[in-house]
Structures are given as C-alpha cells and as structure tokens.
Structure 1
Amino acid sequence: MDDKKILILGVGNILLTDEGFGVRAVEYLETHYRWPERVRLMDGGTQGLMLMPELLECDFLVVLDVVLGPEAPGTVYLLEGEDLRKSLSFRDSMHQTDLLDTLITCHLAGHRPEAVIIGLQPFDYKTMQVGLSPQAQALLPEFCRKAVEEMARRGIVAEARTDQC
C-alpha cells in the first residue's frame, strides 16, 4: 500500500452530540500523530456527494464515524464490504446522498476507492448539542489509538507526536 493515496475522513454532524464523533476523531488524529505524505486527513462533516472529488483522488478510504450496531455504546467496529451501511453516514443520510451511494457514483465515474469504516457505537446521537457526550469524549483517545493500530496493520503508519499532552 506504499504507493496508494490514503484519505482518512471523519464524518458526522457535530451539532448532534456523538454523531460528530468521526469529525472529532480525525481532528484528534491530526493533532496527536504525524502521517506519511500520501495520507490526507479531512473533516467530511455531512457533505455526502460533495465529497466525490476527494474520493476520486484516493485509492484507500478510511472513514471514522458512529455505527449503530447490536453492541453496547462505546463498542468499536471495523466495517468493510456489505457492512458499510451500518455506519450512520452510509445509510439513508439526511444530508444529500449517503457515502455508499457516493462510492457507487465514484465507481460509475471510473474510480471507486477501497473503503473501510472504523466506528464507535454512540452513547447519544440525537441530542442537539455541540460537543460529544462525556462518555464518548473519554473514549476518543483509545478509539484513535485503535484506529492507528488498524491502519498500521494495513501499512499506513503514523508516528505519535511527542510535543502533545
């Protein structure tokens, strides 16, 4: 994977508590780690189809998001293939087109990146409030460490910044 362009995309609505977890995770990864030049980190928010130019430019897509799965809040999920729709941003998005449909559109345009989701089962994703729930905020560093480990397993190696707390 040394020559592939990687996009780490944090998605979600920061106005709905833990729904913004993916955005906060990508901010954390950008602040606390150094990434190879071929890796781009991006706040994708709720842009849906507007993300298509970025998706067309990458070979491998890592999406950080919240996932509604069968486990308890705080569970970390790794989703690939057909499981992508378990991610909130990959299913029936309220914002334009969901990300899976955007990937399908990329495929029709001639380039669909390989995609994986690293997600967290949210504690609260319905309360309109800027900021994560206290429980999700407490899990953010551990979630990001697990995400970095998963990416390293796939050949995307980051260095922890020593100038951070």
Structure 2
Amino acid sequence: MKKNKTLILGIGNYLMGDEGVGVHIASRMELEELPATVDILDGGTGGFHLLGFFELYHHVILIDATLDGNPPGTIRLIKPKFAGDFPPAMSTHDIGLKDLVSALHLLDQMPEIDLFVISIASVQQQGIELSPNIERIVPSVIDEIKCLLGKRHRMPGKHQLTCLS
C-alpha cells in the first residue's frame, strides 16, 4: 500500500565528487524543516534495490547528476513518466534508473516523479568534495525542492516562491 507521502531521493556516488551531488543534497535536506509527509533517503548509486521505495510513495523527488553537455551547475526539473524521458547521459548509474522506471511501469507501481538534474563536467573526479561550480548551486536546488514541496504540501511561507516547476 502506497503512503500518501513524498520521498526525496538523492542519487549518486558520494566518493566521486560532483557525481554525488544528489546524495549531498539529500543529506543537507535532512537539516531543513520539512512537513511530516516528507521522507529523505540517500539512494546511493540507484538500481533495483530502490524499487521498494518507489512502490511505497505516491510522489518521489529525485536529485541526480547528469553529463548532458550543459554548463556545470545547470539545474533542470524533468517530470519523467517513461525510461526514455530521462536525460540521455545520466551519470554512472544511467541504466539502473531507466530500468527501474521500466520495472515500475510493468508492475503498475509508477509514482509521480519530479527529477532535478544537475549538469556536471565529468565523473572522473575522485573525492567527497563538490567542485565550486556545483557547491554554489546546492542552496538553489534545495530552495527549488522546498518550493515544489510548498506547492504540494502547503508549507507556510513557500507559496510566494517561483519554482522551476
């Protein structure tokens, strides 16, 4: 049975610099004041082990890095419904998320998904720190997520924000 809740799910490899931006943002979201109807999860590098989480929630906000050719730090909000709706160059776990979405459709368990993708320059970077370009946009992504939540969950003070969505 699905919870009438939202899951914020950060995807990425924390040890690969900018590729881990999704998990960095999920970690920082844990410090924010959020409605009780919102859960946060560090999804690591994604894959089928996340299937159960998608089946539990009506709404999932994904945050992930992408190698899409846009300038590093570009933030986009995508509302994918099918595997083909994901950017063509999601970072190192591209196949896992696309396969996961296909499986959710086959199981008729597809939640509403909002996908925040952050353009990065490469996945070759090693280390737990984000580059300055990516670190600089993290507060903006958090604000966009809170804005989206404000629209869905009637968070006080968030209705006046203009979101990407």
Would you call these one fold, judging by a TM-score over 0.5? yes
Paired residue type of 2:116: I
Equivalent residues in 2 for 1:58-137, closer than 5 Å = 58-81=57-80, 82-86=84-88, 88=90, 93=93, 98-137=96-135
The runs of 4+ residues in structure 1 deviating greater than 3 Å are 156-160
1:143 Cα offset (Å): 2.1
Q: Please say which of residues 69-78 and 122-131 is displaced more in the overlay.
A: 122-131
Paired residue type of 1:100: K
For residues 86-123 of structure 1, the C-alpha deviation after alignment (integer angstroms, 9 at most, x for no partner) is 4626xx737xx511211221232231111121121114
Output the CA distance in 1 between the equivalents of 2:97 and 2:59. Answer: 14
Aligned residue for 1:163?
none
Q: Per the alignment, do residues 22 and 156 of structure 1 end up closer, same or farther by CA in structure 2, a change over 3 Å counting?
A: farther
Paired residue type of 2:78: L
Give unpaired runs (5+ residues) of structure 1.
161-165
Paired residue type of 2:86: L
Paired residue type of 1:98: G
How many residues align? The count is: 152
Identify the structure with bigger relative contact order (alpha carbons < 8 Å, sequence gap 6+).
1
1:139 Cα offset (Å): 2.1
1:28 Cα offset (Å): 1.0
Aligned residue for 2:161?
none
8 Å Cα contact 2:18-2:65 kept in structure 1 = yes
RMSD: 2.4
Output the CA distance in 1 between the equivalents of 2:89 and 2:39. Answer: 21
Aligned residue for 1:151?
149
Partner SS, residue 116 of structure 1: strand
